């Protein structure tokens, strides 16, 4: 049996584990883990006996990097990471200003079945635990020491793994502000309310994709149990409690959700909310179809006219750059960073 990993344990948890040792020991160990050391042996400000005891009871990594693929054009790096029962992915993305964002996974697969998503087509295996989520960050930081932001936009639905997500954030947010963390959800209303009530106070992104109810149900089956009126209610509640701007994400599928009617419905949905709309041109995944037709990317003209239709109605929009597309193509698109 694998020993439990200490990488998913916050300082307070280390204090409990080490009790009755003095508290500063917990902080020392946390700092070592956070600095990326690979063995207890190297924690040279701890007594030998403690290092040995820790080594007998715990490990520092329960996951390992199988492969890393660099996208020369965009500067993105995708890591394939082996976890019990399968492979997950985490991606390091560099923006135009050179800032680095870590895109992390929360589940092995996903049960939500969005028709345009590779992860959705894989089905669901299990939730990742706090250590498996935190270690993705440590693996990325091993390559790039300065990570500015974290986005939970990798494999899986973060709000269906709130326990693992909260555990990981209790570690990651010891050194990074929650304001620099974004959780993306397909729109699970109870999870949004739970975030609003109990935190953590991360930024929220909601994958709306379209605000036409019938179409959304067909693209994102989750919409049947979490219809748009309830989704909007939960977002109004979230904004009342957290006072934060929410990002609406829209994966744009050529000829499917880019009409005037989509723009009008999206504007209606956004009314009364403080939002910015993130437009994400669909990133091709083989063998995905809708309505009996293969899915396709939106054309340039389609993109710009949809964007203009939203802006003309007063919505703020951002067009997502297609960073890292090269690498997802190159390694078979296991399922992550559909975004880039």
Which residues are near ligand SAH by CB under 6 A? Answer: 116-117, 153, 157, 184-186, 207, 249, 251, 280, 282-283, 285, 338-339
Residue nearest to ligand SAH (CB): 338
Who's near 167: CB < 8 A, 6+ residues apart?
8, 129, 130, 133, 134
Cβ closest to ligand SAH, residue 153 vs residue 201:
153
Who's near 195: CB < 8 A, 6+ residues apart?
159, 183, 202, 204, 238, 242
User: What is the nearest approach in angstroms of ligand SF4 to the Cβ of residue 207?
Assistant: 6
Which among ligand SAH, ligand SF4, none contacts residue 249 (Cβ within 5 to 8 A by kind)? ligand SAH
Which among ligand SAH, ligand SF4, none contacts residue 40 (Cβ within 5 to 8 A by kind)? none
Closest to 206 in 3D by CA, of 249, 168, 155: 249
Cβ closest to ligand SAH, residue 6 vs residue 117:
117
Q: Omega of the bond prior to 152 within 30 degrees of 0, cis?
A: no
Cβ closest to ligand SF4, residue 68 vs residue 106:
106
Cβ closest to ligand SAH, residue 46 vs residue 295:
295
* Angstrom distance (rounded) from CA 250 to CA 93: 20
Site string for ligand SF4, 203-242 (x = CB under 6 A): ----x-----------------------------------
- The residues assigned a catalytic role are 89, 331
Cβ closest to ligand SAH, residue 100 vs residue 295:
295
The answer to whether 187 and 227 are in contact (CB under 8 A) is: no
User: What is the nearest approach in angstroms of ligand SAH to the Cβ of residue 115?
Assistant: 9
User: How many residues touch ligand SF4 (CB under 6 A)?
Assistant: 11
User: What is the nearest approach in angstroms of ligand SAH to the Cβ of residue 210?
Assistant: 11
Range in contact with ligand SF4 (rule: CB under 6 A) among 52-60, 79-87, 94-102, 116-124: 116-124
User: What is the nearest approach in angstroms of ligand SF4 to the Cβ of residue 73?
Assistant: 24
Q: Which helix (H) or strand (E) holds 283?
A: none
User: What is the nearest approach in angstroms of ligand SAH to the Cβ of residue 71?
Assistant: 15
User: What is the nearest approach in angstroms of ligand SAH to the Cβ of residue 283?
Assistant: 3
Cβ closest to ligand SF4, residue 10 vs residue 281:
281
* Angstrom distance (rounded) from CA 46 to CA 29: 8
Q: Please report whether residue 339 would count as binding ligand SF4 according to CB under 6 A.
A: no
User: What is the nearest approach in angstroms of ligand SF4 to the Cβ of residue 324?
Assistant: 16
Who's near 250: CB < 8 A, 6+ residues apart?
207, 208, 209, 210, 257, 266, 277, 278, 279, 280
**The binder of ligand SF4 chosen from 112, 196, 204, 208 (CB under 6 A):** 112
* Angstrom distance (rounded) from CA 294 to CA 282: 12
Q: Please report whether residue 162 would count as binding ligand SF4 according to CB under 6 A.
A: no
Cβ closest to ligand SAH, residue 153 vs residue 169:
153
Closest to 68 in 3D by CA, of 79, 52, 57, 84: 79
Question: Which residue is associated with the tokens 């030998």?
Answer: 48
Beta strands in the chain (DSSP E): 64-70, 77-83, 86-94, 100-103, 107-109, 124-127, 149-152, 181-185, 203-207, 246-252, 275-281, 289-290, 293-294, 317-319
Q: Please report whether residue 186 would count as binding ligand SF4 according to CB under 6 A.
A: yes
Which among ligand SAH, ligand SF4, none contacts residue 280 (Cβ within 5 to 8 A by kind)? ligand SAH
Q: Return the structure tokens found at 314.
A: 């007063």
* Angstrom distance (rounded) from CA 101 to CA 116: 24
Phi-psi region for residue 209, left (φ > 0), alpha (ψ -120 to 50) or beta? left
Q: How far apart are the first and last CA of the chain?
A: 37
* Angstrom distance (rounded) from CA 152 to CA 177: 15
Q: Which residues would be at the binding site for ligand SF4 (CB under 6 A)?
A: 110, 112-114, 117, 119-120, 156-157, 186, 207
């Amino acid at each position: 049996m694998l020993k439990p990993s200490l990488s998913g344990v916050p300082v307070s948890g280390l204090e409990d584990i080490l009790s009755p040792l003095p508290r500063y020991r917990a902080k020392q160990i946390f700092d070592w883990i956070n600095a990326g050391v690979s063995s207890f042996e190297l924690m040279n400000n701890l007594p030998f006996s403690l290092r040995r005891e820790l080594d007998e009871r715990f490990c520092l990594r329960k996951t390992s990097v199988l492969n890393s693929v660099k996208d020369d054009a965009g500067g993105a790096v995708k890591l394939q990471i082996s976890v019990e029962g399968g492979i997950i992915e985490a991606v390091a993305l560099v923006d135009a200003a050179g800032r680095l964002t870590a895109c992390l996974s929360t589940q092995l697969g996903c049960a939500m079945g969005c028709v345009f998503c590779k992860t959705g087509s894989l089905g669901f295996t299990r939730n990742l635990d706090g250590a498996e989520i935190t270690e993705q960050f440590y693996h990325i930081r091993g390559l790039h020491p300065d990570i500015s932001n974290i986005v939970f936009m990798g494999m899986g639905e973060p709000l269906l793994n709130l326990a693992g997500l909260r555990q990981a954030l209790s570690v990651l947010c010891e050194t990074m502000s929650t304001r620099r963390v974004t959780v993306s959800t397909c729109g699970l209303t109870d999870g949004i309310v739970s975030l609003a009530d109990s935190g953590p106070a991360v930024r929220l992104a909601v994958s709306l994709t379209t605000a036409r109810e019938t179409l959304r149900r067909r693209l994102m089956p989750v919409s049947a149990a979490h219809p748009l009126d309830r989704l909007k209610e939960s977002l109004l509640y979230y904004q009342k409690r957290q006072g934060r701007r929410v990002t609406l994400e829209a994966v744009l599928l050529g000829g499917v959700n880019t009409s005037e009617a989509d723009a009008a419905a999206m504007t209606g949905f956004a009314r009364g909310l403080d939002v910015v709309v993130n437009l994400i041109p669909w990133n091709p995944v083989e063998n995905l179809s809708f309505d009996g037709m293969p899915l396709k990317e939106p054309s340039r003209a389609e993109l710009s006219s949809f964007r203009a239709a939203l802006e003309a109605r007063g919505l703020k929009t951002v067009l997502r750059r297609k960073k890292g597309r090269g690498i997802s193509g190159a390694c078979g698109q296991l399922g992550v960073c559909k975004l880039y």
